[in-house]
Amino acid sequence: MKDYADLSTLNDKKLRTLRNNLNNRLESFRSGNVKNLPPSHMLYGLDEGGCLELQKRVAEELKKRAKAF
């Protein structure tokens, strides 16, 4: 599992990619169409609760960056 303890180290593109992957993964959990992710996937090892928590943190980081401009 990747370490997302400090989201400020990710560039904007990587952060948006992470947000999109989280949204897609959470939709998979909601629809019941959950597939096993390969170990190389950025969300490997995260369950639904972990994805929700990370999604909140990513949204906060994106808002913080938007306010900086």
Taking only the tens place, the pLDDT of each residue in 22-63 is 999 999 999 999 999 999 999 999 999 999 999 999 999 999
* In a domain? residue 13: yes
Q: Would you place residue 69 in the very low, low, confident or very high pLDDT band (cuts 50, 70, 90)?
A: confident
Q: Is the dihedral of CA 53, 43, 21, 28 positive or negative?
A: negative
User: Domain residues for 40?
Assistant: 7-67
* Residue 27 to residue 34: CA distance in whole angstroms: 9
Q: Would you place residue 65 in the very low, low, confident or very high pLDDT band (cuts 50, 70, 90)?
A: very high
pLDDT given at position 3: 87
pLDDT given at position 2: 84
* In a domain? residue 58: yes
pLDDT given at position 68: 80
The runs of H, that is alpha helices, within 1-69 are: 12-31, 48-67
* In a domain? residue 2: no
Structural domain count, the chain: 1
* In a domain? residue 47: yes
**pTM here?**
0.92
